[in-house]
């Protein structure tokens, strides 16, 4: 799974034989220049989901529920429908919000779970599952999401052994990010993968340097236009 936030990226990722494309609320940080995911509203998410949907013709599109959009069962179902109507094939919720997950699934919208580091509520971004109690809680949350019917579970920034425990314990496939190599799948933020921002996180090895391509292209254009004056 890779993230996308716009039409051209979606068009390109649709050629990659990915299983899933995620319009994550990392949107706030990597696309809109915010300092966290917390400022992303459901309206912003729906706007970007619609753009990505226009670029995908074969890849499943999953959209993040934003902070507060899933705080009650009623708002969660309403907002999941808004994302579905914007083009999402499924939605992802952070944490073990079991009644909300069950209600959205009952409304006919598949749900992806998300355990470990939960950026919408985390005070600091750090590895999760470093104590026995924390590790047990992550496994317990994943099991509850699995039992509630999540079709897939993201495991973010979790000690590799704990990610293995989760993957072994649940029936749904797991997708890891900074959680070791034993999860069933992996997810990355596409802007990190292609080197679009100055400082990618340490667990990502960028496969390209899109930022430099943009700088070189912009400079070459400015130089050519000035030279022609
Ligand atoms: O918002 C996001 O991009 C995510 C991924 C890191 C899984 O939730």
pLDDT of residue 190: 98
pLDDT bin (cut points 50, 70, 90) of residue 214 is very high
Which residue, judged by its Cα, is nearest atom 3 of ligand 1? 24
pLDDT of residue 193: 98
- Calculate mean pLDDT across residues 134-143: 98
pLDDT of residue 71: 98
Kindly state if the Cβ of 187 falls inside 6 Å of ligand 1: yes
> CB neighbours of 60 closer than 8 A, spacing ≥ 6?
19, 20, 21, 89, 90
**24: CA distance to ligand 1 center in Å?**
5
Kindly state if the Cβ of 189 falls inside 6 Å of ligand 1: yes
- Token pair 């070459």 is found at 220
The pLDDT tens digits for 74-121 are: 999 999 999 999 999 999 999 999 999 999 999 999 999 999 999 999
Kindly state if the Cβ of 25 falls inside 6 Å of ligand 1: yes
Whole-number mean pLDDT of the chain?
98
Which residue, judged by its Cα, is nearest atom 8 of ligand 1? 24
Exposed, middle or buried: residue 124 (CB in 10 Å: 0-12, 13-18, 19+)?
exposed
Q: Are 92 and 22 in contact (CB under 8 A)?
A: yes
Spatial separation of the C-alpha atoms in residues 55 and 129, rounded to whole Å = 37
pLDDT of residue 194: 98
pLDDT bin (cut points 50, 70, 90) of residue 11 is very high
Q: Are 21 and 13 in contact (CB under 8 A)?
A: yes
CA proximity to 157, closest of 78, 91, 94: 94
Q: Are 88 and 60 in contact (CB under 8 A)?
A: no
Q: Are 185 and 165 in contact (CB under 8 A)?
A: no
pLDDT of residue 8: 98
Ligand 1 atom with the shortest distance to the CA of 26: 1
Q: What percent of the chain has pLDDT over 90?
A: 99
What is the pTM for the complete model shown?
0.97
pLDDT bin (cut points 50, 70, 90) of residue 218 is very high
The pLDDT tens digits for 27-72 are: 999 999 999 999 999 999 999 999 999 999 999 999 999 999 999 9
Helix (H) or strand (E) holding 155: strand 152-156
Kindly state if the Cβ of 183 falls inside 6 Å of ligand 1: no
pLDDT of residue 144: 98
């Amino acid at each position: 799974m890779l993230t996308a936030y716009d039409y051209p990226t979606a068009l390109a990722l649709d050629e990659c034989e990915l299983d899933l494309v995620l319009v994550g609320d990392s949107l706030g940080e990597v696309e809109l220049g915010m300092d966290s995911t917390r400022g992303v509203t459901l309206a912003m998410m729906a706007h970007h989901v619609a753009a990505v949907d226009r670029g995908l013709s074969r890849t499943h599109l999953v959209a993040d529920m934003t902070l507060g959009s899933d705080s009650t069962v009623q708002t969660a179902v309403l907002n999941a429908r808004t994302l579905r109507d914007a083009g999402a094939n499924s939605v992802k919720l952070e944490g073990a919000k079991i009644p909300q997950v069950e209600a959205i699934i009952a409304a006919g919208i598949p749900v992806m779970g998300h355990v470990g580091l939960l950026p919408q509520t985390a005070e600091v971004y750090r590895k999760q599952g470093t104590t026995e109690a924390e590790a047990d809680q992550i496994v317990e949350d994943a099991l509850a999401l699995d039992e509630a019917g999540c079709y897939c579970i993201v495991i973010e920034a979790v000690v590799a052994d704990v990610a293995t425990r989760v993957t072994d314990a649940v029936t749904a496939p797991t997708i890891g990010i900074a959680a070791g190599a034993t999860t069933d799948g992996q997810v990355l933020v596409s802007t990190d993968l292609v080197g679009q921002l100055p400082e990618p996180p340490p667990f990502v090895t960028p496969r390209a340097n899109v930022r430099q391509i943009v700088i070189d292209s912009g400079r070459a254009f400015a130089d050519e236009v000035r030279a022609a004056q």
